[in-house]
């Protein structure tokens, strides 16, 4: 007989304002302990020095995390020009120093505009990408450099926030897989110098924005007053662009068993092949599905439990 994992069956999405210092997994475990939750995971690592939006999915909400990993993200970043480090950020050792040209805001904005659209990035050695089963950062710490192929990413917007030499602040909206550390280094190169990232704050992940975040201190205060759960968003909060369908009684039974399910309303059903949020007659989310012809095929069935 399998043993049930310890903790409560908590379901929903929390938008944490991650502080600088701890790793994403360390703050995840702090939050999980506060909620006494059985299951929780985050939807995309932030470096220890970085701050800002870290969505945490509890329970069945974790079945939506893949969509958040693929989502567009936005950051505010600060680069220090004139110094390159081994890691591309302030945690590394200085490896190159170079003079910083006398730049105007207009010149910088012109360079930034050249990065918008589809670009190629070479992933940094200090990253979690794996080679021979080991993260690249482990190889880097041993002084080994692994050849990396360029990867295509998309920069949707790149705006200058301030320029007070040698510090450059910018905001970037980008696709998944974009390394802002690498972007800062590449910007510095285009500006005729070197640089590294000294601050990074994530402000958006898909539909989630910075004004929805909650800090660890706020969570701790809420835990003391018994009001923790007011910070949780619904399990499907990250899927606002997905259509929702409602099942009839027969469809509910079929979907729960992992079988194609009939809809309560077939006249206004999404087109075949569409990904959908599936709800029962009480509007509770039952899972995620894919549309067939007047039927929905289960892709992920939610089991809430006690």
Residue 221 phi/psi, 5-degree rounding, is: -65, -40
Which three-class secondary structure state does DSSP give residue 190? helix
Beta carbons of 226 and 113 less than 8 angstroms apart: no
Helices then strands, counting H and E runs in the chain, come out as 7, 18
CA pair distance 172, 151, nearest whole angstrom: 18
Active site residue 47: yes
277: Cβ contacts below 8 Å, ≥ 6 apart: 236, 239, 242, 243, 244, 245, 285, 288
Q: Catalytic: which of 17, 47, 186, 236? A: 47
Residue 266 — left, alpha, or beta (φ > 0 → left; ψ -120 to 50 → alpha)?
alpha
Active site residues: 47
């Amino acid at each position: 007989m399998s043993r049930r994992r310890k903790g409560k069956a908590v379901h929903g999405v929390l938008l944490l304002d991650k502080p600088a210092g701890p790793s994403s997994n360390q703050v995840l475990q702090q939050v999980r302990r506060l909620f006494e939750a059985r299951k929780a995971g985050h939807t995309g690592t932030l470096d220890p020095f970085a701050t800002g939006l870290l969505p945490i999915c509890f329970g069945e909400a974790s079945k939506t995390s893949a969509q958040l990993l693929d989502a567009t993200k936005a950051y505010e970043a600060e680069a220090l020009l004139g110094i390159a480090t081994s890691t591309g950020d302030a945690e590394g050792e200085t490896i190159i120093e170079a003079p910083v040209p006398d730049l105007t805001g207009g010149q910088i904005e012109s360079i930034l505009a050249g990065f918008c659209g589809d670009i190629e990035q070479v992933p940094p050695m200090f990253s979690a990408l794996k080679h021979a089963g080991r993260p690249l950062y482990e190889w880097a710490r041993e002084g080994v450099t692994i050849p990396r192929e360029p990867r295509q990413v998309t920069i949707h917007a790149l705006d200058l926030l301030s320029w007070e030499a040698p510090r450059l602040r910018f905001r970037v909206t980008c696709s998944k897989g974009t390394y802002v550390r690498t972007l800062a280094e590449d910007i510095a190169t285009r500006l005729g110098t070197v640089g590294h990232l000294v601050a990074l704050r994530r402000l958006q992940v898909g539909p989630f924005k910075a004004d929805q975040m909650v800090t660890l201190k706020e969570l701790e205060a809420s835990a003391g007053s018994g009001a923790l759960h007011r910070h949780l968003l619904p399990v499907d909060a990250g899927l606002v662009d997905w259509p929702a369908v409602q099942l009839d009684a027969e469809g509910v039974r079929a979907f729960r068993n992992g079988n194609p399910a009939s809809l309560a309303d077939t006249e206004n059903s999404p087109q075949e092949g569409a990904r959908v949020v599936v709800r029962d007659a009480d509007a509770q989310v039952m899972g995620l599905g894919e549309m067939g012809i007047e039927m929905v095929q289960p892709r992920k069935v939610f089991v809430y439990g006690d």
